[in-house]
Amino acid sequence: MRVVSAVVAAAVLLTVVGVGTWGQAQPRVPEALVVAQGVDIQTGDPHKTTLTHAMNVLANIYETLVRRDADLTLHPGLAVSWRAVDPTTWEFRLRQGVRFHNGEPFNAQAVKFSFERMLDPRTRWPGAGALRLVKSVTVVDDFTVRFTTERPWPLLPRFLGYYGMIVPPNYLAQNGDEALVRQPVGTGPYRFARWVRDDRVELEANSAYWGGRPQIGRVIFRAIPSESSRLAELLTGSVHLINLVPPELFRPLQLSGRAKLVPGKSLSVFFVIYNLVNIPRDKPLADRRVRQALNYAVDRQAILASVMRGVGSQVGTFCTEVMLGCDTSLAGFSYNPDRARALLREAGYADGVDFSITTTSGAYPGDRDITLAVADQLARVGVRARVNVTEYGVQLRTVQARQLAEDGWFTRFTDFFGLSHIIPFRAFYSRGEWSLWRPGNPQFDQLMESADTATDEARMREVSRRIQAMFVEEAPAISLFTAPNVYGMHRNLEWTPRPDLLLTMVDAAWK
């Protein structure tokens, strides 16, 4: 709190001292839009990374066949239309007259080359698993391609709305892969201009962009590790947009006359996920009544009001209203400490149970404080809760290795595709990459596999509803609320936050 107060004081002082000169020296519309995030990109090659901060920059340079807007609605991108030829074949008609920033023409060969490159194990693209069902890409003619999938996959266009950036094959053939790492070349609304490592990436508007030249001519992505420093620069006007603002910094933004606080819809959910890896039957968490009791013991609204400053929404299961297939009528667990105590007694734990939680501090907005609040509420029903604060990387490694020492871990999961079954597929499906529910529940797993292969949207919604109902019954986690998707913006900047967190500046404009 002292750091935040100091930031506010400094910003107020700068505003008072410099308001006259700022008003005279600064143009009403800044020369360049400056966006600040915590870290720099590691590569300009979109087939080498899936990290959010890198995707934020690369999504302005490269494009996908299908474009998504801020409501996650699909629109034509580099493909003007698409259709299912048969259950395992999709045909995409491509946009004509598009050129890469180096002048190279975009065509079906570029699409085939890009997908074969990103799915080649030698490329080591971290996102390849998301497109694992793509079996082949075939060129039909210069502006038509067909995707063959291993099994019916009606959701392919939705996945291509986030992954599948197209790169220039001739540029790579002539200059090698390393050239794309240092100097990215796409078809997008902004061209790469300059990269000063660990400091900034500068972009310039693509005047020849098929969608029309962006309204803002220059965009600079700066890497500023300190949250307080990002806030201070926003409040003093040298930065115009910061993302993922933590709750403790909401107030200075709300008080500022130069910047504004802008919350967006969230595809992220906070959980305390139970450690159920081969759990012995005599352990309390092996009894689902105990797992349910811990859920009834948590007052989510109280934590939202106190720790999260009122930003966020309680979730009943693992999804939000933004995700396709999420049945938000399933309420999940209400706050009912009497019911929690009764379930603990029924399970044979009238004297309470011990429960340890590992959490990070600063990896997610409010992470440590949320976990402490959960532990405090668990203690009120007789759960002897203990919190261990762990370094982010250590936590991830121990979870992925299924070697977590604690009974639960506080974490955030984000679904970048806007589908209700993505988070449980990663976090609760027994073979999910982060699942601690092992060997899990065979019926739940079977439903998860059905959702992944549902042949139409109605079937997918029905399966998802059944998965949610079983999730509440089995309670493999304490579902909390949506993680905040909050931005600090210059008062004259107009831009709508996206649930998928991407910072697509083609959508931005000055008042």
Per DSSP, the three-state class of 337 is helix
pLDDT over 50 at 403, yes or no: yes
Cβ neighbours of residue 306 under 8 Å, at least 6 residues apart?
Answer: 373
Tokens of 318: 């693992």
- Residue 26: per-residue pLDDT: 47
Tokens of 7: 């930031």
Q: What is the pTM of this model?
A: 0.85
Residue 289 neighbours by CB distance under 10 Å: 17
Q: Mean pLDDT, the chain, as a whole number?
A: 92
Cα dihedral 241, 246, 249, 251 sign: positive
- Residue 12's pLDDT band, with cuts at 50, 70 and 90, is very low
Q: How far apart are CA 336 and CA 33, in angstroms?
A: 48
DSSP string, 247-265: GGGHHHHHH-SSEEEEE--
Q: How far apart are CA 421 and CA 249, in angstroms?
A: 32
DSSP string, 32-92: SEEEEESS--S-S-TTS---HHHHHHHTTT---SEEE-TT--EEESSEEEEEEEETTEEEE
pLDDT in tens, 244-260: 899 889 999 989 999 99
Cβ neighbours of residue 347 under 8 Å, at least 6 residues apart?
Answer: 284, 287, 289, 290, 293
pLDDT over 60 at 3, yes or no: no
Residue pair 298/312 in contact by the 8 Å Cβ criterion: no
Please provide residue 130's backbone torsions phi and psi, each rounded to the nearest 5 degrees. -65, -25
pLDDT over 80 at 127, yes or no: yes
pLDDT over 90 at 240, yes or no: yes
pLDDT in tens, 274-333: 999 999 999 999 999 999 999 999 999 999 999 999 989 999 999 999 999 999 998 889
Q: Which of 148, 181, 156 is nearest to 167 (CA)?
A: 181
- Residue 59: per-residue pLDDT: 97
pLDDT over 90 at 16, yes or no: no
- Residue 21: per-residue pLDDT: 36
Tokens of 408: 């639960």
Mean pLDDT on 232-248 = 94
- Residue 454: per-residue pLDDT: 78
In percent, how much of the chain has pLDDT > 90? 83
Q: How far apart are CA 412 and CA 427, in angstroms?
A: 10
Residue pair 467/447 in contact by the 8 Å Cβ criterion: yes
